[in-house]
């Protein structure tokens, strides 16, 4: 039988097939892919060194494969389009992101997937440890003339459970808060009721981000100041009229970036700007606790106001605005709410350090009137960080 002569269509199929095979190599060499960088919260594999001995020869294929998987041509474009396709069907291509209803995304890292499903309640030992450690901190600070306030910022899924893909049981956070109310003398502020109550008037968390919105930050700020006022004399919270609203360009938060679709999944951004602030950052302090990601010493004009030390995470920075590098001190946000500057107005001198460990040395150095420890719900699951001295 004579072979069938190839048609133009056959040639096109072969040409396309070869182009698809060659395209990743071409982009890897010439960097044609202009899709946005992916936010993966991990270090990509580095190119392996040329093998020089038997052990490195054996390890070379696996290392080369890992490098290629992280750097093959058009990877950003393919990953983002795959993520968008999955998103349209309610599926997530990232183990750290859950696709919810009405364009809501939820963070699933730090074992949050289990907590969302209410499958990992606190054990009796975990609850007891929290109560014991918070009481120890309060007693140690009281001996030094300082108040103590422990603040829990809820995860978005605790505020918007109705936006999860399906209904789930009670969040473990309530279990912890109720236990501490019965078994601890520490002052604990759970911001969840405030943020849940406020969502009828505005969106308290971004749909595409794991943090609260500017509106949610303002609600949280008012709640924090109100609780502080019960512990020591501080100025009242700024009135709502001080927060000037402005609509900025649509943006995409950290969860959309993790999915690789930040350019394709955006939401309106309503900014609340309370500037000018009545506190400023002093000359960078040569002292800086080990392990801090951000560190700032703030000062206001009121020399008679209390002093404070604040251990916090990204929620007291809020999510928009300028983030300095890990080695720099905090700088004010360009726009929107700068929670550090806003809270610093309450104190004559205040130190803000972004980390999860309680550091007694910093407290001893600053002689504060109040120590605040703020922690987001998903990190509370890890238990207390940093030991309290017994003296």
CB-based contacts of 240-246 (< 8 A; 24+ apart in sequence) = 242/274, 243/214, 243/218, 243/272, 243/273, 243/274, 243/337, 244/272, 244/273, 244/274, 245/270, 245/271, 245/272, 246/270, 246/271, 246/273, 246/335
Between residues 5 and 185, the one the model is more confident about: 185
**Percentage of the chain surpassing pLDDT 90?**
44
Residue 185 reports pLDDT greater than 60: yes
Residue 321 reports pLDDT greater than 50: no
Give pLDDT tens digits for 10-67.
667 666 666 656 656 565 565 665 566 665 555 667 777 777 777 777 777 787 677 6
52 Cβ contact partners less than 8 Å away, ≥ 6 residues apart = none
Residue 324 reports pLDDT greater than 60: no
**Residue 118, Ramachandran bin (φ over 0: left; ψ between -120 and 50: alpha; else beta):** left
Q: How confident is the model at residue 69 (pLDDT cuts 50, 70, 90)?
A: low
Predicted local confidence at residue 172, as pLDDT:
87
Q: How confident is the model at residue 196 (pLDDT cuts 50, 70, 90)?
A: very high
- CB atoms under 10 Å from CB of 157, counted, come to 25
Q: Among 88-102, 130-144, 171-185, 206-220, which stretch is predicted with the lowest mean pLDDT?
A: 88-102
Q: What is the pLDDT of the chain when averaged over all its residues?
A: 81
- pTM above the 0.95 mark? no
Give pLDDT tens digits for 268-279.
888 898 889 999
């Amino acid at each position: 039988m004579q072979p069938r002569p190839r048609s133009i269509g056959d040639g096109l199929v072969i040409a396309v097939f070869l182009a698809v095979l060659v395209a990743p190599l071409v982009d890897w060499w010439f960097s044609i892919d202009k899709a946005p960088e992916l936010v993966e919260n991990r270090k990509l594999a580095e190119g392996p060194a040329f093998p020089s001995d038997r052990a490195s020869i054996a390890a070379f294929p696996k290392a080369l494969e890992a490098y290629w998987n992280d750097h093959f041509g058009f990877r950003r474009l393919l990953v983002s389009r795959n993520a968008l396709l999955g998103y349209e069907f309610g599926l997530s291509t990232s183990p750290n992101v859950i696709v919810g209803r009405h364009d809501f995304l939820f963070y699933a890292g730090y074992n949050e997937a289990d907590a969302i499903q209410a499958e990992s309640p606190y054990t009796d030992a975990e609850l007891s440890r929290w109560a014991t450690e918070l009481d120890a901190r309060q007693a140690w600070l009281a001996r030094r003339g300082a108040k103590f306030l422990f603040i829990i910022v809820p995860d978005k899924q605790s505020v918007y459970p109705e936006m999860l893909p399906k209904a789930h049981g009670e969040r473990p956070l309530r279990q912890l808060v109720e236990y501490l109310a019965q078994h601890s003398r520490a002052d604990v502020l759970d911001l969840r009721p405030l943020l849940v109550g406020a969502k009828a008037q505005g969106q308290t968390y971004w749909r595409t981000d794991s943090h609260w919105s500017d509106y949610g930050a303002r609600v949280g700020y008012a709640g924090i100041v109100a609780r502080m006022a019960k512990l020591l004399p501080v100025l009242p919270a700024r009135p709502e009229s001080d927060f000037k609203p402005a609509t900025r360009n649509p943006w995409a938060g950290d969860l959309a970036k993790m999915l690789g679709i930040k350019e394709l999944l955006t939401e309106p951004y309503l900014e609340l700007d309370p500037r000018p602030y009545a506190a400023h950052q002093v000359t960078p302090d040569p002292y800086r606790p080990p392990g801090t990601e951000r560190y700032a010493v703030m000062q206001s004009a009121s020399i008679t106001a209390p002093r404070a030390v604040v251990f916090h995470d990204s929620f007291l920075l809020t999510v928009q605005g300028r983030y300095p590098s890990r080695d720099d001190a905090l700088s004010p946000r360009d726009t929107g709410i700068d929670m550090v500057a806003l809270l610093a107005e309450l104190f004559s001198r205040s130190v803000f350090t972004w980390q999860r460990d309680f550091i007694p040395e910093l407290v001893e150095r600053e002689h504060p009137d109040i120590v605040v420890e703020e922690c987001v719900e998903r990190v509370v699951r890890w238990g207390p960080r940093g030991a309290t001295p017994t003296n």
